[in-house]
Structure 1
Amino acid sequence: MADLVLCEPTELYNILNQVTKLSRLTEPNYLCLLDVRSKQEYDESHVITARRVKKKADEYLIPESVDLECVKYCVVYDNNSSCLDLIRDDSDNSGSENDLLPRGAAIECGKALAHLTRHPVQILRGGYESFSAKYHFFRTQKIIWMPQELDEFQPYPVEIVPGSIDWSSLSFVGDADKLLHIQIEDSPEAFIFPFLRHLCHFIDVHLELGNVILVFSTLGISRSCGVILAYLMHQNEQTLKKSWEHVKKCKNNVCPNRALVAQLSQWETIVLGGFITDISVPLC
């Protein structure tokens, strides 16, 4: 089943919240989100921008306006599919590979659509039940979205790791011990290295207390991303390159300036004992 992959609820959440100047949901070939539950369930509530897939006989009928060949992300969900395992149909006792049947409507639909797209069809792990329980604010009854409505869609913070969120713009008022303000300019002269130990310790302490961490800067693509990269390297004892790949998957416009990248490379020597990531090669 190489054409199907599982999509974690957090992955779909991040896909829905990607922005450039506008929400990426405004791009017609960005996301195709398909709901294969019953009409009654869909009408009661579904994930924002999801289109219902009808089934006629044994055929899944996707909306005519959808061109899966050009879509970057095709995500299918039912109520609660949680894996890509197959079950065996023992009705004819043949034991052949053709007797293996998919678990759940989402997988069945994904298999039927896989040949129509250049990218793997993603099956939402846990289905609507899991996603809507965690991200209840993405439930809606709205079926048709006008381009202007998508233009005005306000994204939520991107979730990098459980309990840690990156937000590109935030006004925050709280207790002094819960707010860490590091004043550095977004310029080639920015010097964040001396603060990295303190930043990582601050995040560690609040994650242990069960707090949600919001990391933000003016545009949310350079300084805040640099802090998150440093923390992932510290938390997981992993390279700058591997940390970058993870953040890039969660937030597609990550782009620390060259001065910050050089300092993150220096931080890698503190975490791992040497330079491992080749920063002469663009990481973006």
Structure 2
Amino acid sequence: MMKRGFTGGYGSQTEVLWLTDLVLCEPMELYNILNQVTKLSRLTEPNYLCLLDVRSKQEYDESHVITARRVKKIADEYLIPESMDLECVKYCVVYDSNTSCLNLILKDDSHKSGSSRNDLFAGGAAIECGKAIAHLTRYPVKILRGGYESFSAKYHFFRTQKIIWMPQELDEFQAYPVEIVPGRIYLGDFRQACDPKIQKDLKIKAHVNVSMETGPFFAGDADKLLHIQIEDSLEAIISPFLRHLCHFIDIHLDLGSVILIFSTLGISRSCAAILAYLMHRNEQTLKKSWEYVKKCKNNVRPNQALVAELSEWEAIVLGGLVTDTTVAFS
């Protein structure tokens, strides 16, 4: 299915076809898809992600995104790996080198010398492949914006030459913190906060630790570490710390620092902290903040006591209660 629009100039007309069976996938979105966790990485689920690389064999062999499968093209037909059941896959993401939009440009030159020529300019191999397989998928095919070049520049640590991933290797895959504010705020767990490689790869310069545990980084440095020591229980009270939390993060964003917010499991306390900050930063409701964070991280579960405190924080930020927590999060 396509939608049409027109742009014009003197003596010529260009028709733009927007492909509605395809959607753009931002590099941050693919990064977060790769880093979702239940008890294990969600990459272990056979119907979770199908990541397809439509670049040349040489480019693919040099490096590709982890778990990506190369799609071969014979004549004008793309050959999807037989092991892929696209109808059951939640995320089907296709990338080439650098496709950045979903427009197909149809330029009409029929006004010139009696010509009836129409030229169709596709946005790249990823769009061609996406169109070819869209009828096989339950959900819209995602085209990675900027392709491999953009993704690998931002997340170089997810480049690999590995072609086949065994189930045990996927079971042992160590996810990174999810990205909440592009390149600036990450949300994770205590293990990730203790991993020096993750700190280096993500260029982490400050921690917000919302747990009782003490991490190995920035100890004793109040300028780079905000440690909110609360238990993971219904008796935990986070409200007295929220203004300081928001001030601490604002300062580091102004300084250009990258911040990791974490708790023991990265599910409840740290999620409450980032929700409070997003309400403050964007002056938006708890419900809208929750919906945004859920898109970044699938297992957001602040406990009921923290949700009640976030509701009170919403009233402070917005001047009144807006979100009905009995409905929004039931």
Secondary structure of the equivalent of 2:227? coil
Query: Is the 8 Å Cα contact of residues 49 and 92 (structure 2) preserved in structure 1?
Result: yes
Q: Which has the larger radius of gyration?
A: 2
Instruction: Find the counterpart in structure 2 of residue 147 from structure 1.
Output: 167
Give the letter aligned to residue 164 of structure 1.
Answer: I
Alignment correspondent of 1:160:
180
2:276 aligned to 230, 246, 256, which one? 230
Residue of 251, 256, 267 corresponding to 2:313: 267
Q: So what's the TM-score if we normalise by structure 2?
A: 0.83
Instruction: Quickly say closer, same or farther: Cα 1:130–1:60, change in 2 above 3 A.
Output: same
Aligned with residue 71 of structure 1, among 57, 71, 89: 89
* Matched pairs, number: 282
Show the 5 A alignment for 1:57-96: 57-88=75-106, 90=108
Q: Distance in 2 between matches of 1:271 and 1:55?
A: 54
For structure 1, the 5+ residue unaligned runs are none
Mean CA deviation greater in 137-146 or 81-90: 81-90
Whether the 8 Å contact between 2:287 and 2:328 is mirrored in structure 1 is no
CA distance in 2, matches of 1:283, 1:161: 23
Between 166-175 and 176-185, the greater mean CA deviation after superposition = 166-175
SS in 1 for 2:325: coil
1:191 CA displacement: 0.8
Match of 2:247 in 1: 201
1:25 aligns to what SS in structure 2?
Answer: helix
1:28 aligns with 2:46: yes
1:250 to 296, 304, 309: 296
- 3-state DSSP class of the match of 1:280? helix
Query: C-alpha offsets along residues 182-213 of structure 1, whole Å, 9 cap, x if unaligned?
Result: 11111111110111111000000011111111
Please give the secondary structure, in 1, of the residue aligned with 2:168: helix
Q: Kindly indicate which of the two structures has a greater share of residues assigned to strand.
A: 2
Query: Which deviates further from its counterpart, 79-88 or 25-34?
Result: 79-88
Mapping of residues 6-155 of structure 1, within 5 Å = 6-88=24-106, 90=108, 100-155=120-175
Distance 1:248 1:95, change over 3 A: farther
SS for the counterpart of 1:75 is strand
Structure 1 residue 102, shift from structure 2 partner: 2.4
Q: Partner of 1:173 in structure 2?
A: 217
CA distance in 1, matches of 2:152, 2:24: 17
Runs (4+) of structure 1 exceeding 2 A deviation are 89-96, 99-102
Contact 2:78 2:129 in 1 (8 A): yes
Q: Distance in 1 between matches of 2:124 and 2:315?
A: 47
Per the alignment, in what secondary structure is the counterpart of residue 34 of structure 1? strand
User: Within 1, Cα distance between the matches of 2:237 and 2:299?
Assistant: 22
Partner SS, residue 142 of structure 2: strand
CA separation of 1:205 and 1:245: change in aligned 2, threshold 3 A: same
Using the aligned pairs only, state the percent identity: 80
The correspondence for 2:287, drawn from 241, 249, 255, is 241
- The answer to whether the 8 A contact 2:109-2:117 is kept is no
Distance 1:142 1:283 in 2: 40
Instruction: Report the CA distance between 1:90 and its aligned residue.
Output: 4.8
Specify the alignment match of 1:278 in structure 2. 324
* C-alpha RMSD over aligned residues: 1.5
Query: Could you list the runs of 5+ residues in structure 2 that have no partner in the other structure?
Result: 1-18, 195-215
